[in-house]
Copies of this chain bind each other. A is one copy, B any other.
Amino acid sequence: MKVLILGGDGYLGWPTAMAFSRKGHDVLVVDNYLRRNICRDLDVEPLFSVPNLLGRIRLWEEKTGEKIGARIGDCCSYGFLTQLFKEFKPEAVIHYAEQPSAPYSMLNHHAAMLTLSNNLLSTLNIIWAVHENVPDCHIIKLGTMGEYGTPGIDIEEGWIDIEHKGRKDRFLFPRQASSLYHTTKIQDTDLLWFYVRTWGLRVTDLMQGPVYGLSTDETEIDSGLATFFNYDELFGTVINRFIVQAVAGYPLTVYGKGGQTRGYLNIRDTIACVELAMLNPAGEGELRIFNQITETFTVNELAEMIKRVGNERGHRVEIKSIENPRVELEDHYYNPAYTGLKELGLKPHLLTAEVLHDMFERVELHADKIQMHKIFRGVKW
């Protein structure tokens, strides 16, 4: 398939590009290095450095003989984006081109404005570029489970039937998130859902939980093909960050009571889910929503698992509860459905001790590069 990957330089975008290229898809990646620039500006670069996007692509071709196309540019520029769609005529577009950090979005007015405008203006441009150039193109947008928040009722896959005063109707499942970043993901869904109904777009919304892992079949090919691995409070997701903290001898920082329950998935499963969605497109005028997680844990459970594996590997791992910098419930009901992607054929990679040992091993190789000051910064909500 001809697939356009927006945000193709990112933690998920780059491994997706390689995986799809290897499977024979015709891949064009787009990125404006926003994530790299923010990380540099705020002194929270990843654990190890990686080549720039064009360098990655050259290395990929050298090692595999496969070509990946690339354009450096901003999806918020409509002239740039619509021209791309016109020329490349993608059958599917994967929208990873959003500012993805919740703590970053809460940092200050500038970061909030950047998050809101980047995430929504890019989405509106994608919608229009599809409508004006390739109306049948399938838009796959990464959402987040965080959009649902932690409601007192079971979380369904995107939709809910509501019975009210003797009448019934079907609606988007209620969404109320706990960061500005997550709120922009509610808002981009508002946009997509409106244009799906109005213009008959084909859209899949993947409500993803925090992703963990450093490696996929393709990153294994060469160390220069690795993806970003952030371990800081802004861009490091909790499992990735805890492992670095364990290796560094820095206590695992649990926010508050640690009863916060979330759904997680391995980076390999993200790529598999996106591919399953792409190979089985949404219908015309359909907003299809999947909850993209494979299992749920409390933060305490994660900390305990990582402590156990870390100790087995000779690290002295401590868990330390700190005052919760976020406004969120620390102990709550959480029962999300997540069967849709398994029905499409997903075979989950669960968070076993073996998976954790493998992650530890890779992080240990870079132990000398861990910068303690990057781990904690105290961003408050």
Contacts and interface: CB of A to CB of B under 8 A. Distances in A.
Interface string A354-366: 0000000000000
Interface in A141-168: 151-154, 160, 162-165, 167-168
Nearest to A155: B164
Interface in A301-340: 327, 333
A61 interface: no
Contact of A124 (B112, B132, B179): B112
B180 A194 contact: yes
Interface in A177-193: 177-180, 183, 186-187, 190-191, 193
A280 interface: no
Interface stretch (A113-121, A211-219, A253-261, A270-278): A113-121
A190 B197 contact: no
A160 B164 contact: yes
A88 interface: no
Contacts of A162: 153, 160, 162, 174
A169 B187 contact: no
Contacts of A125: 113
Nearest to A115: B124
A124 B113 contact: yes
A183 B190 contact: yes
29 contacts: A109-B128, A112-B124, A112-B128, A113-B124, A116-B124, A120-B187, A151-B171, A152-B168, A153-B162, A153-B163, A153-B164, A153-B165, A153-B169, A154-B167, A160-B162, A162-B162, A167-B333, A171-B174, A175-B190, A176-B193, A176-B194, A178-B197, A178-B198, A179-B194, A183-B191, A183-B194, A186-B190, A190-B190, A198-B381
A78 interface: yes
A113 B78 contact: yes
A134 interface: no
Contacts of A154: 164-165, 167
A198 B149 CA distance: 13
Greatest chain B CB density within 10 A among A125, A153, A186, A381 is at A153
Contacts of A333: 167
Contacts of A152: 167-169
B164 A171 contact: no
Interface in A225-277: none
Nearest to A154: B165
